[in-house]
A and B are shown apart, each in its own frame.
Chain A
């Protein structure tokens, strides 16, 4: 898509992947950080991991079983937090443990019977050897995420503010909240084997955290976070590929540095020195 800007095919694909994945994740990241459910990131990463291990064991395509298990878990999170009458974070923690156990069980068993398993791409992704189809998948995911947030902006912002107030206003909180959790989990799961758990986690949390230092309203967060994410990701990718540095870790480091700078210059920490 961006070939007209970047003639080199590998660089072009990597930049496209970074751009679209960072936009989708950072927009959903605003919701995640405001709802204080950042553990949804590592729970879904392990859902994909467990799914892939299951698939390997039973002889399915591990990519498909990873997505299938992730979707199942994504559908489960909302109803389960209601049924268990516990904070989302606790439920996500329980699921995380369970999925990790399932994954480790199958991997250990496969090693025991002599089948190998390589989880590297799930953990670290591989931005420089992507297929065209994977880029298209990322584009579709990020458009879905953006459209979802734009269409349900009112409802989502009310739920972020206070679920009880949202419900009293006449908003159908439950279905929208479930859909929201599903959308987040789904995006995380599908982006995972493309960009890896590390970058994904950085994108989910850090852009929103940076934007939060400067913005006093949600609309500002929803605009600033993806802009910050896109600028940092694309420029890190270009620099990384130019100088043959590992793109994922480099991007993650740049994000963290920007976050620290943002905290130092935060508008929210400024104390007025005025006397009148």
Chain B
């Protein structure tokens, strides 16, 4: 059983550096996030927000410090962490004729949990179908993903990560390609999964559609956290703007 009282993310004095770089991008960062929290990460471009997300799910190795996520040591059990953690990537550019339909791509979210040599079963098809419905992609589920608009592709990637039924969902600027209505739509979905107990850690600059409960704001600059507080959704915009300006 998972211990609900211990944090789902626990970073202790972590450093993350890219190969070939002179200085680490994340330096001496510590952060604890509890189960079910809704966290928004802000900060200027190049602050290290994407790097933070990829340190949390173990896609980038730490040079110092320890990271525990979903009760596991990320450095040692990166794959296991990623099976319980959704990650919606920021930048993607799919070839218009890449041979994958929307349904294929959503199903891919299940591949890691399934493990090698196993075929998707009834449960996987059900999870795939549910998240396609949840994001309203039924009409385009047979289309090749490359022929969709950027916003539609973004929704497919969100659906893919929801099909995984993750304990923790990382999102990297998920609203950047979405129109206003879709932002609200996706935001409602995030609010919904958050209320069902999924922890959400989202990098975003679009603050016009947030769940109307208390959210935690983390503002980063140059690889460190310089603001970290709970506040109401309506205050988020001002706080992030102020903090980013000071930086």
Q: A residues within 8 Å of B by Cβ?
A: 34, 85, 151-152, 154-155, 157-158, 161-162, 164-172, 212, 215-218, 220-221, 268
**Chain B contacts for A169, CB-based, 8 A:** 82-83, 108-112, 160, 164
Contact of B98 among A85, A154, A161 (CB under 8 A): A161
B87 at the interface (CB under 8 A from A): yes
Task: Indicate if the CB atoms of B116 and A155 lie closer than 8 Å.
Answer: yes
6 CB-based A-B contacts, threshold 8 Å: A85-B19, A152-B117, A155-B116, A168-B59, A217-B101, A218-B104
Contact of B111 among A158, A215, A220 (CB under 8 A): A158
CA distance A217 to B142 in the complex (A): 10
**Chain A contacts for B98, CB-based, 8 A:** 161
Task: Indicate if the CB atoms of A165 and B89 lie closer than 8 Å.
Answer: yes
Contacts A154-B111, A169-B112, A220-B99 supplied; 17 other A-B pairs, CB < 8 Å: A34-B99, A85-B19, A151-B116, A152-B116, A154-B108, A154-B116, A157-B108, A165-B157, A166-B111, A168-B86, A169-B82, A169-B83, A169-B110, A172-B79, A212-B97, A217-B101, A218-B99
B218 at the interface (CB under 8 A from A): no
**Chain A contacts for B79, CB-based, 8 A:** 170-172
Shortest distance in angstroms between A158's beta carbon and chain B's nearest beta carbon? 5
Interface members, chain B 78-135 (any A CB < 8 Å):
79-80, 82-83, 86-87, 89, 92, 94, 97-101, 104-105, 108-114, 116-120
CA distance A170 to B165 in the complex (A): 13
Q: B residues within 8 Å of A by Cβ?
A: 19-20, 57, 59, 79-80, 82-83, 86-87, 89, 92, 94, 97-101, 104-105, 108-114, 116-120, 144, 157, 160, 164
Shortest distance in angstroms between A186's beta carbon and chain B's nearest beta carbon? 20
**Chain A contacts for B20, CB-based, 8 A:** 85
CA distance A268 to B111 in the complex (A): 28
Task: Indicate if the CB atoms of A155 and B99 lie closer than 8 Å.
Answer: no
**Chain A contacts for B57, CB-based, 8 A:** 168
Interface centre among B99, B108, B113 (most CB of A within 10 A): B99
Instruction: Name the residue of chain A whose CB is nearest to the CB of B147.
Output: A216
Instruction: Name the residue of chain B whose CB is nearest to the CB of A153.
Output: B119
Task: Indicate if the CB atoms of B111 and A155 lie closer than 8 Å.
Answer: yes
Instruction: Name the residue of chain B whose CB is nearest to the CB of A162.
Output: B92
Task: Indicate if the CB atoms of B108 and A165 lie closer than 8 Å.
Answer: yes
Task: Indicate if the CB atoms of A171 and B99 lie closer than 8 Å.
Answer: no
Task: Indicate if the CB atoms of A161 and B108 lie closer than 8 Å.
Answer: yes
Shortest distance in angstroms between A21's beta carbon and chain B's nearest beta carbon? 24
Which 5 A-B residue pairings sit nearest by Cβ, starting from the closest? Answer: A170-B112, A170-B83, A169-B112, A170-B82, A168-B87
CA distance A151 to B59 in the complex (A): 25
Interface centre among B87, B92, B94 (most CB of A within 10 A): B87
Given contacts A161-B105, A165-B157, A170-B79, are A151 and B89 in contact (CB under 8 A)?
A: no
**Chain B contacts for A168, CB-based, 8 A:** 57, 59, 82, 86-87, 89
Interface centre among A154, A157, A164, A221 (most CB of B within 10 A): A154
CA distance A117 to B142 in the complex (A): 55
Task: Indicate if the CB atoms of A161 and B100 lie closer than 8 Å.
Answer: yes
**Chain B contacts for A171, CB-based, 8 A:** 79, 111-112
CA distance A217 to B100 in the complex (A): 5
CA distance A217 to B146 in the complex (A): 11
CA distance A170 to B19 in the complex (A): 22
Contact of A216 among B59, B87, B99, B114 (CB under 8 A): B99
Instruction: Name the residue of chain A whose CB is nearest to the CB of B142.
Output: A216
Contact of A268 among B97, B100, B160 (CB under 8 A): B97
Contact of A167 among B59, B86, B114 (CB under 8 A): B59
Shortest distance in angstroms between A171's beta carbon and chain B's nearest beta carbon? 5
**Chain A contacts for B113, CB-based, 8 A:** 170
Shortest distance in angstroms between B169's beta carbon and chain A's nearest beta carbon? 11
**Chain B contacts for A172, CB-based, 8 A:** 79
**Chain B contacts for A162, CB-based, 8 A:** 92, 94
Contact of B144 among A34, A158, A216, A221 (CB under 8 A): A216
CA distance A134 to B189 in the complex (A): 59
**Chain B contacts for A85, CB-based, 8 A:** 19-20
Task: Indicate if the CB atoms of B82 and A151 lie closer than 8 Å.
Answer: no
**Chain B contacts for A151, CB-based, 8 A:** 116-117
Instruction: Name the residue of chain A whose CB is nearest to the CB of B109.
Output: A169
